[in-house]
Amino acid sequence: MAAIDCGTNSIRLLVADLPEPAAGPQAPLTDLSRRMEIVRLGQGVDRTGRLAPEAIERTRAALAGYATEIEKLGAEQVRMCATSASRDASNADEFRDMVRRTLGVAPEVVTGDEEARLSFTGAVRGLPADAAEPYLVVDIGGGSTEFVVGTRTGGVEAAVSMDIGCVRMTERHLAGDPPTAEQVAAARADISAVVDRALAAVPGRDAATLVGLAGSVTTVVAIAQDLPGYDPERIHHARVSYDQVAQVTTDLLAKTSEQRLTIPVMHPGRADVIGAGALVLQVIMERAGMSSVVASEHDILDGIAWSLA
């Protein structure tokens, strides 16, 4: 099976085999291929309400490579889910037509609620035993952040998607390089108000464990661990404290994009927006009263794959 997650900042592919039934309900998928490209599909959407032609073309080029990989590995089922940017854009039909021509299947522009549920499914399978329930799972994307509360056995109890993400907050508030104190304060105020609304909609403050998903979280956790390079095995299920997240966020927001590029774990396509992503994570931890966060490399992409089972 092949799963594709097309978000505001990146497009990702997972080709995997399902575990054998005898392996049990928490057995992992067998990865055949995981790929990620930064395409910035949501470039300017918060301002213009439209997908930029150059962003659609970047996405098409990445998708063409994925189509070749899917065919080579012989995946029998393909599901592509498109999220925040393609929900918000007035010219989303152009994007959907491009996907049909390139991939051979239509993208599903999932609702925020479905995005949250897929993220939760991908994240909670295989969590370590010391990750106490219930969980607050937060998926910090480029255009939106999903907040999901639930348990491993009972599933999702409540979910909400909010329009805060690393690309959207950077474009809206953090124009400076590095951003000014006034810009950071405006971003923090905006994020705090939205997070408070999210936590009024889902009982996140009652959760025992915060699980963080997507590139902003995994990059912050990698920096907090002072890794010499991006290492998914060391990042997956690593737990870092609020104090570590706050220090990394402060350091990132004080650096220029060029200086962030010198950080060993930094993906070049994330350097200009990682400060906003880190700030979203820090504010969530503050407003939810969480002393630590567990990072997961498994997220909506894995949830899409499991949905094909």
At 171-207, the pLDDT tens digits run: 999 999 999 999 999 999 999 999 999 999 999 999 9
Low-confidence ranges of the chain (pLDDT < 70): 20-27, 84-85, 87-88
Question: Where in the chain are all domains bearing CATH 3.30.420.40?
Answer: 2-109
Assign 3-class secondary structure to the chain. CEEEEECCCEEEEEEEECCCHHHCCCCCCEEEEEEEEECCCCCCHHHHCCCCHHHHHHHHHHHHHHHHHHHHHCCCCEEEEECHHHHHCCCHHHHHHHHHHHHCCCCEECCHHHHHHHHHHHHHCCCCCCCCCCEEEEEECCCCEEEEEEECCCEEEEEEEECCCHHHHHHHHCCCCCCCHHHHHHHHHHHHHHHHHHHHHCCHHHCCEEEEEHHHHHHHHHHHCCCCCCCHHHHCCCEEEHHHHHHHHHHHHHCCHHHHCCCCCCCHHHCCCHHHHHHHHHHHHHHHCCCEEEEECCCHHHHHHHHCC
CA distances (Å), origin 250, targets 104, 224, 246, 253, 255: 44, 12, 6, 5, 9
Task: Indicate where the chain has its CATH 3.30.420.150 domain(s).
Answer: 128-300
pLDDT value of residue 85: 66
pLDDT of residue 68: 97
Top CATH class of 128-300 equals: alpha beta
- Summarize pLDDT for 47-84 with one digit per residue, the tens: 888 989 999 999 999 999 999 999 999 999 999 998 76
Options 3.30.1300.30, 3.30.420.40, 3.40.50.720, 3.40.1440.60; which CATH number does 2-109 get? 3.30.420.40
Q: State residue 219's pLDDT score.
A: 97
